[in-house]
Amino acid sequence: MSRIVAGPFNRVEGDLEITLDVEAGRVRRAYVNSPLFRGLERAMLGRPALDALFYAPRVCGICSVSQSVAAAAALAEVAAIRQPRNGELARNLLLATENLADHLTHFYLFFMPDFARDAYAAHSWSRGIRERFQAIHGTATADAVPARARFLHLMGHLGGKWPHTMSLQPGGTARAIEGGEKARLLKVIREFRRWLERHFFGDALEAFADLGSQSQLERWATRAAPSRADFGRFLGLAEALDLASLGRGPDRFLSYGTHWEAGRPLFPPGVWSEGTVHPLRLDRVTEDGARAWLAGGQRPLPPHEGVTEPDIHAGPDAYTWCKAPRLDGMTLETGALARQLVSGHPLMADLVCQSGSNVRNRVVARALELARVLPRMEAWVKAIDPAAPFRTPLPAALNGQGVGRVEAARGSLGHWVSVENGQIRRYQIVAPTTWNFSPRDRDGVPGPLEQALVGIPADGGDGGVAVQHVVRSFDPCMSCTVH
């Protein structure tokens, strides 16, 4: 058996190291190391409660708004306030903008460039794919980066800037939208729609969102325009390289639910396992620090009792700064695939039924979300009532516990906060990649990625392209993971 230590594992957000034990050319065991500790939770202790709106977005430069939404939601629960309809709509728009922009960034900048690498030079498709998707130099980068930047003008309008807005408040938004501004917002959304339909789908968003099964998807991908567009070219690669057989996770999925429309989530929360969606029990979430360089790992703790205290002498079993989150003791995969599956979309249900979670299905799920959410964004803008309130004021005194949950691009993000006399006493964050890139727990049960890498062909100084595809198919955000 040989060992590969792959890193710096780039084109992910933040630093990542993967250790692979390889036998007969395939991964026997994988260990995921999140090698950076900052300690953002500790930064908030003792601060006035609303300061969380300043610190939380700075946990992550790519999931910044998601962190803001979670912090604001946690404080809203402490304050026992609800936001008005306009606040809900503004939050949806900010969150959806970040999530969809992140899906685009993942596809074009992080994930697709691996198919342009020398390892594939012998394939007949290599030249064309390289021209389009090569990192930095590919024509797709030139097309996608400005499209993303223009779409993020919504952040300028609604949040002042991105990343690190403070517009999002527990009771709504500090940036009210006037009637005359709706046309401006719609123009940005429609421009992005046009871009996606021309370059990414080669079809109307609705046509893609309406696909209801794997066979429909396969038929769609053979049509002329979609087959030439960027997502269609990915589907071609997925078939040529059998990406549906790569990187199967635990096949249990977590979604906190997101995008609220009159109090109801567009994508409902739940836990999917063995074909059934179970209700989400947040009180069953624990984090285990047994394999992390952290003190106080005697037993798994619910986040409301959690602590984060670095201890570099934590013992020989420790190999990461990341805790191991579990729900009812189980590992769970989270992300767009989980969200779309739990929401009951027939295409996702059929794909997972046929091949579980894997590299191809994770990427398809993000495309599905682009197609489903962007039209809702147009509807949300239209639903804004410029004459109605955008924010519910906070009560003078804040005391108590709150949980803020949100679906970031990469999956379920939770903030657990305790406030005493207006000051933060405890703050615990469990981020999407904390779930997906969890280390082993005290019982030695590997996290979802550690499981997904087993059996994958591996070689060379970076583990080889198959390992790269599996890791990046999760769209990891290492900044959030340890925070």
Query: Between residues 318 and 347, which has the closer beta carbon with respect to other proteins?
Result: 318
Largest CA distance in the chain: 68
Strand locations in 328-422 (E): 333-334, 400-408, 411-420
Contacts of 428 (CB under 8 A, 6+ apart): 41, 287, 303, 304, 306, 308, 415, 416, 417
Helix 230-240 vs helix 214-222: crossing angle, to nearest 10: 110
The least CB distance from residue 82 to other proteins, in Å, is: 16
> What is the closest distance, in whole angstroms, from the C-beta atom of residue 477 to other proteins in the complex?
8
Relative to beta strand 264-267, strand 324-327 is: unpaired
Our CB check for other proteins shows the closer of 172 and 414 to be 172
Q: What SS3 class is residue 130?
A: helix
- In the complex with other proteins, which residue's Cβ is closer, 312 or 330? 312
How far is the C-alpha of 277 from the C-alpha of 322, rounded, in Å?
28
Q: Which is nearer to other proteins, 368 or 465 (CB)?
A: 465
CA–CA–CA angle 411, 344, 278 (5° rounding): 70
Contact 179, 379 (CB under 8 A): no
Indicate the length of the chain as a whole number. Answer: 483
User: Rounded CA gap, 367 and 231, in Å?
Assistant: 8
Side chain identity at 120, as an amino acid letter? Y
CB of 194 to other proteins, least distance (A): 16
**Distance in Å, CB of 24 to other proteins, minimum:** 21
Assigned token pair, 480: 């959030």
- By CB atoms closer than 10 A (0-12, 13-18, 19+), residue 50 is middle
Give the containing element (helix H, strand E) for 382: helix 359-383
Residue 284 Cβ vs other proteins, minimum distance, rounded to whole Å: 29
- Which CB sits closer to other proteins, 44 or 221? 44
Quote the least distance from Cβ 468 to other proteins, whole Å.
Answer: 6
Nearer to other proteins, 94 or 238 (CB): 94
Considering the complex, state which of residue 230 and residue 462 has its C-beta at the smaller distance from other proteins: 462
Give me the least distance between CB of 88 and other proteins, in Å please. 15
Give the integer Cα–Cα distance in Å for 302 and 289: 12
Cβ closest to other proteins, residue 56 vs residue 246: 56
| Smallest separation (angstroms) from other proteins to the CB of 295 | 11
The CB-of-131 to other proteins minimum distance in angstroms stands at 9
Q: In whole angstroms, how close is the CB of 445 to other proteins at the nearest point?
A: 24
Q: Which is nearer to other proteins, 116 or 235 (CB)?
A: 116
Give one DSSP letter per residue of 104-153, joined into a string. Answer: HHIIIIIIGGGGGSGGGTTSTTHHHHHHHH-TTTSHHHHHHHHHHHHHTH
**H or E element in which residue 310 lies:** none
User: Exposed, middle or buried by CB within 10 Å (0-12, 13-18, 19+), for 388?
Assistant: exposed
* For other proteins, the closer CB: 33 or 343: 33
* Distance (Å, whole) CA 424 – CA 404: 14
> Which phi and psi (to 5°) does residue 13 adopt?
-85, 115
Taking the least distance from each CB to other proteins, the nearer of 224 and 396 is 396
Helices 346-355 & 214-222 angle (0-180, nearest 10): 100
To other proteins, the closest distance from the beta carbon of 368 in angstroms equals 24
Q: In the complex with other proteins, which residue's Cβ is closer, 26 or 153?
A: 153
Distance CA(97)–CA(409), nearest Å, equals 10
Q: How far is the CB of 463 from other proteins (least distance, A)?
A: 7
**What is residue 140's three-state secondary structure?**
helix
Contact status, residue 440 vs residue 447, Cβ threshold 8 Å: yes
Question: CA quadruple 99, 373, 251, 214: dihedral positive or negative?
Answer: negative
